[in-house]
Amino acid sequence: MDTLIRLHRSPIWGPLVRLVGLPKPVELARHAGAYVGEALAGRTAAVLAAKGGTCMAQLEAAVRNAGGARWNAADAQALDVLIVDATACAALADFRELYEVFHPLAGRLARNGRVLLVGPAAGEGPVSQAVARGMDGFLRSLAKEVGRRGIAANLLQVEQGAADRIEGALRFFCGPQTAYVTGQVVRIGAMTAAPSAVPQVAALAGKSALVTGAARGIGLAIAERLAQEGAHVVAADVPAAEADLRALCARIGGSALPLDITSPDAPGALCAALRERGGVDIVVHNAGITRDRTMAKMEASQWQQVLDVNLEAVARIDEALLADSVLRDHGRVVCLSSISGIAGNFGQTNYATSKAALIGYVAGQAPRYAARGITFNAVAPGFIETAMTKKVPFMTREIGRRLNSLLQGGQPRDVAELVTFLASPGAYGISGQTVRVCGQGLMGA
């Protein structure tokens, strides 16, 4: 449990931490199991239109399918999930509709609740762009206000013709898996070819996945989570981590592949191993390193190692997987970027270059493979409680951990949840994007 939450609860320390005014984070409600059919079972949900939304039918059906209970405004009960369809808003005066809908309800949201604003994607012209951007600003501010109560608030921007692609995203952004993903703006697009059938529950049975850097930390959590949904995971990491890889694979029924992803024969070896399994559906480029130094002090080798592992190996592996069609149609590629790649960070010119480049890389790849139904996305973690962040000096760590809307650090599992969602069939409307899993960290906000 988070240290501050524990201190607040302690009969001895509680009065003292309150006296000095230390922030009081809410214990986030996380779900340890696999996806369930009725993701909103036992939760009250309201689907409201701001100016007669255009996706109401899809949103209401999605909530019904997920088992959400209709919330009655006249009851005293708190509201667990608030979904607002603002896709019909098209004029500057329509912002008033947001006020009308949210003002009476913002104070009635339950702890650990969810807010999903569904708005139009920006079209051409200043008004359309202003409407889309204004909703972005509204959502980000609302997320900061409700985050104090452990509530995650996110915005889906729906492109023309993509309303039927909302359901998977609604289940994720309104469900327990999104505990540490808040203040995000995600576009639901019509670009990527749809799979022939989209299971309501985003299970991955029969899918094959590659996770690099899977021996520990975030990669380990991703491998475990994908396997929990039924995927067969090929777990790759450096030969020195072979024992950990094998222990993981014994637990999750996966296959260990010890290799250095930067070695010249790594793409070929990966292709061979994955072809033996009939190809791969999910590729998670998680392996990453830091070699922090200021620009003036950085050695060429430190620069190059980071660029090699974090970026160039990713591009070379994808090139091989795509050239040989080892990556199957309707495949999913997810790259681990970082907040550092969005905001920049002192002493991390090499790391930030590589992580920012991945954001551009997925945006560029997405349209090229959309006709094959393949999506490319990046995930940008903020402060995640791992062995890496444990090494940070206490005060710096405490500041990094608290500077977000939820006032706490995330868990490797939170990153794994977002990756698993983006790897699922229901995420086919999302491609070329970068989603942060950072509790709406202030860095690069």
**Catalytic residue annotation:** 351
Report the DSSP beta bridge partners of residue 185.
Answer: 155
What is the spatial distance between Cα 44 and Cα 53, in angstroms, rounded to a whole number? 20
Task: State the Cα–Cα distance between residues 270 and 96, nearest whole angstrom.
Answer: 54
| Minimum CB distance to ligand NAD smaller for 189 or for 217 | 217
CB-based burial of residue 432 (10 Å sphere; 0-12 exposed, 13-18 middle, 19+ buried)? buried
Q: How far is the CB of 207 from ligand NAD (least distance, A)?
A: 21
* CA dist 332 → 1, 15, 207, 373 (Å): 33, 49, 11, 9
Which is nearer to ligand NAD, 101 or 380 (by Cβ)? 380
Q: How far apart are CA 314 and CA 154, in angstroms?
A: 29
Residue with tokens 């790897």: 423
Cβ proximity to ligand NAD: between 58 and 340 the closer is: 340
Q: How is 125-140 classified by DSSP, letter by letter?
A: SHHHHHHHHHHHHHHH
- Whole-number Å distance between alpha carbons of 160 and 194: 15
Number of residues that bind ligand NAD (CB under 6 A): 27
What sections of 41-112 are H helices per DSSP? Answer: 56-65, 95-102
Q: What string of DSSP letters covers 320-378? A: HHHHTT-EEEEEEEEEE--THHHH--TT-HHHHHHHHHHHHHHHHHHHHHGGGT-EEEE
Residue 228 CB, shortest distance to ligand NAD, in Å, is 18
Tell the smallest beta-carbon distance from residue 380 to ligand NAD (Å). Answer: 7
- For the CB of residue 378, give the shortest distance to ligand NAD in the complex, in Å: 10
- Which candidate, 305, 218, 211, places its Cα nearest to that of 262? 305
DSSP one-letter code for 77? P
Site string for ligand NAD, 238-277 (x = CB under 6 A): x--x------------------xxx---------------
Task: Out of 25, 119, 175, 219, point to the residue binding ligand NAD (CB under 6 A).
Answer: 219
Q: Which of residues 383-442 bind ligand NAD (CB under 6 A)?
A: 383-384, 386-389
Binding of ligand NAD by 237 (CB under 6 A): yes
Q: Which stretch binds ligand NAD (CB under 6 A): 105-113, 214-222, 358-366, 423-431?
A: 214-222
- Asked whether position 215 contacts ligand NAD by CB under 6 A, the answer is yes
Q: Cα 405 vs. chain centroid, distance in angstroms?
A: 16
Q: Under rule CB under 6 A, which residues in 292-331 are in contact with ligand NAD?
A: 309
Nearer to ligand NAD, 188 or 252 (CB): 252
Least separation, in Å, of the C-beta of 287 and ligand NAD? Answer: 4
Among 87, 192, 286, 424, binds ligand NAD (CB under 6 A): 286
C-alpha distance from residue 147 to each of 150, 179, 374, 445 (Å): 5, 10, 34, 15
Residue with smaller CB distance to ligand NAD, 241 or 334: 241
Closest CA to 320 of 366, 274, 276: 274
Q: Name residues contacting ligand NAD, limited to 328-347 (CB under 6 A).
A: 336, 338
Which one among 53, 113, 213, 426 touches ligand NAD, defined by CB under 6 A?
A: 213
- Interactions with ligand NAD, residue window 361-390 (CB under 6 A): 381, 383-384, 386-389
Residue 44 is a binding residue for ligand NAD (CB under 6 A): no
User: Which residue number, 110 or 358, has a Cβ lying nearer to ligand NAD?
Assistant: 358
* Residue 379: CB minimum distance to ligand NAD, A: 8
Minimum Å gap between C-beta 410 and ligand NAD is: 8
Closest CA to 82 of 134, 118, 131: 118
Q: Which is nearer to ligand NAD, 191 or 259 (CB)?
A: 259
Task: Report how far residue 50's alpha carbon sits from residue 135's, in angstroms, rounded to the nearest whole number.
Answer: 12
Q: Which residues lie near ligand NAD (CB under 6 A)?
A: 212-213, 215-219, 237-238, 241, 260-262, 286-289, 309, 336, 338, 381, 383-384, 386-389
